Amino acid sequence: MNKVTVIVNPASGKGRGARAADRIRQAFAAVGVTDIRTTSAKGDEKIVALRAIQDGADTLVAVGGDGTWGNVANAILCSGASVRLALAAAGTGNDFAKTVGAPAADFAATARLAVEGPDTPVDVGLIEDRYFLNVAGFGFDIAVIEDVETINWLHGDLLYMYSALRQLFRYRGISIGVRGPAGAHSPQPHLMLIVANGRNFGGAFRIAPAASVTDGLLDAVSIAVASPLRRMKLFGSATKGTHVNHPEVRVEQGGSFTLTFATPPAYETDGEYNRASAARLEVRCVARALRVVTPAAGASGA
């Protein structure tokens, strides 16, 4: 039986984490897990996770969304310990769980898996000193993240959809140069650049439909600046993953990419806002770096 610690972020999903706390305690108590720890400040997950690892936990259950999962994953990866990550959904998009096939919204199933279920080693991305599970994003999605923080009357996938629609007509774009295995593309205006490990993004979008979390590669999805009408078509297509067939979209797979900007950009990793320290950034894949608890057939990501 695994030694399990549950880490709850009560602020995730605009309070969904706090509302889920009682159900989490009941589900894990049913399988004999009572070590449940709560974060108290933004970004606190990494500190709490490192303490749990020091206390001997070999499975950490992160209760939140992609940002919470990414923060706990960073603690595991930075510690160097062979600790498993299990996903319990209480966030806004919860995208990474969709890719790996984890039953994150079913707390009872998650509890059973955490105690005695299998795990799969998955790839992660690395940018600067930050690991990410799902995506690193530049441009449009930063504008959406900033907009999401201003809206309190929507939640879940609808919140991202609404903010994305608003920013479709407001966001002007960002110039990015991309160098990958196929060569270099000189700086050009982008609506958005997503470097994806997982397939899903923003709750409702299949941003990198060919991505796999077990292939040792990242998918760089470049979307050029387009007219409002073309943006609407791209937006609709991205919910089905067919945007990759549009002329404004370029997709390239590789183990690493070098990105250049006019000035150090803002970017997001798993929905968490970051400010780059340089105008030239390398994003690379770290293959099979993290053990994720998921049903045996779940984590191919293919």
Domain ranges of the chain: 4-117, 132-287
Mean pLDDT confidence for 264-273: 94
Mind listing the pLDDT tens digit for each residue in 109-159? 999 999 999 999 999 999 999 999 999 999 988 988 888 888 888 776 678
The neighbouring-strand residues paired with 267 are 274
pLDDT at 186: 92
Q: Using 50, 70 and 90 to split pLDDT, how confident is the model at 223?
A: very high
pLDDT at 239: 92
Query: In which element (H, E) is residue 223 found?
Result: strand 218-224
Least confident of 80-84, 175-179, 292-296: 292-296
pLDDT at 157: 67
pLDDT at 182: 86
pLDDT at 281 over 70: yes
Architecture of domain 4-117: 3-Layer(aba) Sandwich (3.40)
pLDDT at 300 over 90: no
What is the rounded CA–CA span in Å between residue 25 and residue 283? Answer: 38
Mean pLDDT confidence for 36-65: 94
What Å distances lie between residue 202 and 94, 157, 228, CA to CA?
9, 7, 20
pLDDT at 151: 84
Query: Contact, 148 vs 163, CB < 8 A?
Result: yes
Average pLDDT across the chain, whole number: 92
- Closest Cα to residue 84, out of 5, 23, 200? 5
The position carrying tokens 């609808």 is 158
pLDDT at 12 over 90: no
pLDDT at 302 over 50: no
The position carrying tokens 């690193």 is 136
Mean pLDDT confidence for 219-231: 93
pLDDT at 168: 83
Q: Using 50, 70 and 90 to split pLDDT, how confident is the model at 298?
A: low
pLDDT at 297: 54
Q: Which fold has domain 132-287?
A: Tumour Suppressor Smad4 (2.60.200)
pLDDT at 161: 77
Looking only at the bridges linking them, the beta strands covering 266-269 and 272-275 are antiparallel
What is the rounded CA–CA span in Å between residue 286 and residue 271? Answer: 19
Query: Contact, 122 vs 301, CB < 8 A?
Result: yes
Virtual CA dihedral for 38, 201, 210, 289, nearest 10 degrees?
Answer: -20
Mind listing the pLDDT tens digit for each residue in 73-107? 999 999 999 999 999 999 877 999 999 999 999 99
By the 10 Å C-beta count (0-12 exposed, 13-18 middle, 19+ buried), 33 is classed as: buried
Give the CA radius of gyration of the chain. Answer: 18
